[in-house]
Amino acid sequence: MSELDIAHLRTWIGSEQVLDDVLTEALAQKYHATFDGAGDAPAVGEPVPRLIHFCLSQPVVPGRELGPDGHPARGGFLPPVPLPRRMWAGGELTFHGDLRVGDTIRRVSRVEDVTVKEGRTGVLCFVTVSHRLSVDGGLRIEERQDVVYRALETGAQPTKVPAPAARGEHRQPMQVDPTLLFRYSAVTFNGHRIHYDRPYATQVEGYPGLVVHGPLQAAFLLGYATDLRGMPPSRLKFRGLSPLFDGDDFALHATAEGDGLKLWTATENGPVCMSAEAAW
């Protein structure tokens, strides 16, 4: 923890970034195809799936300005945390209305907090970012994004194994392959190599396979919640707990909790990979 200059990193709190993007018909078609959506993709003027905004307003960075992990080099809008692993740990979203094909979206992002904690695998640095997405001045989405940075595995990690996940009232078997991970990386303009570069993921970052994106799992869970209730939730909160890898047989689970749903992904006899709560 002494290696991190937390006082310096916290000077990024309050920094803002404003990005505009257009939700094109081509993007709607590519997103629809990536998820093997039923029927036709949304046309101009029609509403789109609620997490398609993860594809919008992504920083367009030349290859020479990328770090070794495929992310933009440290610094700039986000603080330059000197830990090699960077992951989307979770987030919370409130939807005030639908985005539609043809909309011009403005995303205003702000660094809200930077904290350091000692976790079971070592030092963790959390960066909290807020996003507000608007169309013609009308707020559509409020989002909190939690990014976590940590060190690479050392081989001396704790041996405690998380408990197997429970089985939900509803369950849908799933599997992802490298093609889906590559296409989702492409449609979200995400260069993080752990999702498509197997030698890098296994030999450099020490994972047993390609890592399934956190936002992709969140999209699976939101889609499942929508199918179960017949309409998309107005609020979604999700948190990554254990990594999920390509080729893993896993399932989406859901259980009613009050007026909402508690959701999670998990491999067979494995721990919860991502937990979520959906509300209407």
- Please tell me the distance from the alpha carbon of residue 240 to that of residue 190, in angstroms, as a whole number: 18
Mean pLDDT (whole number) for 140-153? 91
- Which CATH number among 3.50.50.60, 3.40.50.300, 3.10.129.10, 3.60.20.30 corresponds to the domain 1-157? 3.10.129.10
Strand order in the sheet with 260-267: 16-22, 104-119, 122-135, 138-150, 85-95, 235-240, 272-279, 260-267, 250-257, 170-174
Mean pLDDT (whole number) for 125-132? 97
- Please tell me the distance from the alpha carbon of residue 65 to that of residue 60, in angstroms, as a whole number: 10
Tokens, residue 109: 């992002």
pLDDT, mean over the chain: 93
Tokens, residue 270: 């494995």
Classified as helix, coil or strand, 11 is helix
Mean pLDDT (whole number) for 39-45? 97
pLDDT at 107 (0 to 100): 97
Is domain 161-280 in CATH 3.10.129.10, yes or no?
yes
Q: CATH 3.10.129.10 in the chain, residues?
A: 1-157, 161-280
Model pLDDT for residues 226-253, shown as the tens digit of each residue: 999 999 999 999 999 999 999 899 999 9
Mean pLDDT (whole number) for 71-98? 90
Give percent of the chain with pLDDT exceeding 70.
96
pLDDT at 1 (0 to 100): 45
Q: Is a pLDDT exceeding 60 seen at residue 158?
A: no
